[in-house]
């Protein structure tokens, strides 16, 4: 469906931090922005990146809350994701098949992540609905793509909500994930797609964990 763009040379890596990456990413998406654009960050790590993108482009910033669905015995191994406004979990069916797992095996994980998703929506928005996306260009921003599971859930949720077009913009991505997401989004902007990719954090000098309070401060919301 879409294409992958991004030409950051390997020598430019690693990024100093998410803010620095956001400034570079903003420059890369300037030429594709429309008048009816909105930037939605994937919290928590995508928020400081997206803040710089939205500020540079002069467009609204908000979040779309996504939760990874991890393997029951290896939580860091994402086998799917659930998105705010989505119709339910989005699984990596090929991975489930390789692991010999079924959605029913993940029922407890899905329930726990759904509860956490609802909590974060309540904290980050305080009762406000998601910004309207119908007919708009939505730029989905994260700090990087490893497997792409959470981004995929976000893109599908926004499609279902009637987004006019969806651009996925990240500073760094695994090549396989970028190619896979190009089949979901109208365009994927990844500043760098290194040939060797273990984790998003390896491409940043400073990659600290963010709290809910950090997200609220970046969004300009009261704690």
Q: What is the pTM of this model?
A: 0.90
Neighbouring CB atoms inside 10 A of 78's CB total 20
10 Å Cβ neighbour count for 112?
Answer: 13
User: Which residue numbers in the chain have pLDDT < 70?
Assistant: 1-7, 10, 221-223
- Class of the 3-65+130-219 domain? alpha beta
Name the nearest CA neighbour of 43 among 196, 193, 177, 211: 211
Nearest to 166 by CA among 25, 34, 8, 17: 34
Give the start-to-end residue ranges of the domains of the chain. Answer: 3-65+130-219
Give pLDDT, residue 14.
94
* Residue 66, token pair as written in the block: 């996504």
Amino acid 85: pLDDT: 81
How much is the pLDDT for 168? 97
CB 45 within 8 A of CB 18: yes
pLDDT of amino acid 5: 67
Residue 173: helix, strand or coil by DSSP? strand
Interatomic CA distance for residues 48 and 15, integer angstroms:
13
Q: How far apart are CA 163 and CA 101, in angstroms?
A: 32
């Amino acid at each position: 469906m879409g294409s992958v763009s991004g030409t950051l040379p390997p020598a430019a890596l690693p990024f100093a931090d998410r803010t620095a990456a956001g400034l570079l990413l903003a420059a890369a998406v300037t030429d594709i922005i429309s008048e009816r654009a909105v930037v939605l960050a994937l919290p928590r790590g995508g928020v400081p990146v997206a803040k710089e993108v939205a500020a540079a482009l002069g467009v609204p910033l908000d979040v779309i809350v996504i939760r990874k669905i991890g393997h029951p015995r290896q939580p860091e191994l994402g086998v799917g994701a659930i998105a705010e406004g989505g119709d339910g979990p989005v699984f990596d069916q090929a991975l489930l098949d390789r692991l010999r797992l079924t959605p029913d095996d993940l029922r407890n994980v899905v329930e726990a992540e759904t509860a956490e998703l609802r909590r974060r929506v309540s904290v980050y928005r305080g009762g406000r609905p998601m910004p309207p996306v119908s007919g708009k260009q939505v730029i989905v921003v994260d700090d990087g793509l490893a497997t792409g599971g959470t981004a995929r859930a976000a893109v599908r949720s926004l499609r279902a909500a009637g987004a006019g077009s969806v651009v996925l913009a990240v500073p760094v991505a695994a090549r396989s994930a970028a190619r896979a997401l190009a089949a979901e989004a109208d365009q994927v902007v990844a500043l760098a797609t290194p040939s060797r990719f273990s984790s998003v954090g390896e491409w940043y000098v400073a990659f600290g964990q963010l709290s809910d309070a950090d997200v609220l401060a970046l969004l300009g919301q009261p704690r």
